[in-house]
Amino acid sequence: MHITVAAIQTSPRFGEVTANVEAALAAVPPGCDLAVLPELFSTGYQFRSRDEVRALAEPVPDGPTTTRLLAFAAERGTHVVAGLCERAGERLFNSAVLARPDGRSAVYRKVHLFWDEKDLFDPGDLAFAVHEAAGTRIGMLVCFDWMFPEAARALALAGATVLCHPSNLVLPLGPDAMVTRSIENRVFSVTANRVGREHRARAELSFIGLSQIVAPSGQRLARLGSNEPGVAVARIDLDEAGAPITPRNDVWADRRPEMYGVGGARS
């Protein structure tokens, strides 16, 4: 089975939520089955305080951004994964939402917070879950989750074939690491990053772009540059997910968990 996937690379203006949402959705190509938008695509990234986060955060699924994503998904028949600022009671999360054409949604809350995010957001409290979408099974990661192989592995073990990765990457290692995550888990990955700069807090941040779609083989099927908004699109063959490495080597059958000794805190 083949589906068309897209990574949407944007350059949002901080706090201009409606304009950011509409610009991102306008870039989604017609006929796309699954579109991935960047982390915090609707608000911008560099919050100055937790109070500022709270002022722009929205409930999921009843907030205006998720409502708009669901309406777009229904209108276009496209599944959309997008990063946004979520409010759940008094808690604030850097989240990703899945909007389906049938009106259902799902949310993932970023587990691995990066740098000053630790002062602004609550750490994610939902397990890495796999969701039916676009005729396959997808898992969601958010940006710095790329650093932790356990995150992608947990999703692959649960049956994900496509990793959707909304990002605001500033470290140059992230896109290359996602190539490795695709290879070692035999899955597709779709990283949607942003471009541009923000200097609203103590340090200026430059976002590296390089949004990409990667096959289980590690081949980059599509990749954008580092300076401009754009769209990376690929037609992917889902049968490639989980394919054996050689006729005698299967990444799952060859695992020997009893030998790994992993689990708790670093010694």
Note the pLDDT tens digit of each residue in 232-267: 999 999 999 999 999 999 999 999 999 998 765 554
* Full domain range(s) for residue 250: 2-259
* Structural domain includes residue 266: no
Using a cut of 0.95, tell me whether the model's pTM lies above it.
yes
Structurally, how many domains does the chain consist of? 1
Cis bond before residue 61 (omega within 30° of 0): yes
Q: What is the pLDDT of residue 202?
A: 86
Catalytic residue among 86, 110, 164, 198: 110
Residue 85: active-site member: no
> What confidence tens digit (pLDDT) does each residue in 105-122 have?
999 999 999 999 999 999
Residue 143: active-site member: yes
* Structural domain includes residue 264: no
CATH number at residue 55: 3.60.110.10
> What confidence tens digit (pLDDT) does each residue in 198-227 have?
999 989 999 999 999 999 999 999 999 999
- Are 81 and 166 in contact, with CB atoms under 8 Å apart? yes
* Structural domain includes residue 267: no
**φ, ψ (nearest 5 deg) of residue 178:** -70, -25
Residue 150: active-site member: no
Q: What is the pLDDT of residue 158?
A: 97
> Cβ contacts of residue 183 below 8 Å, gap of 6+?
216, 217, 218
Q: What angle do CA 124, 64, 24 make, to 5 degrees?
A: 85
Q: What is the pLDDT of residue 264?
A: 58
Catalytic residue among 39, 58, 86, 198: 39
Catalytic residue among 32, 85, 143, 164: 143
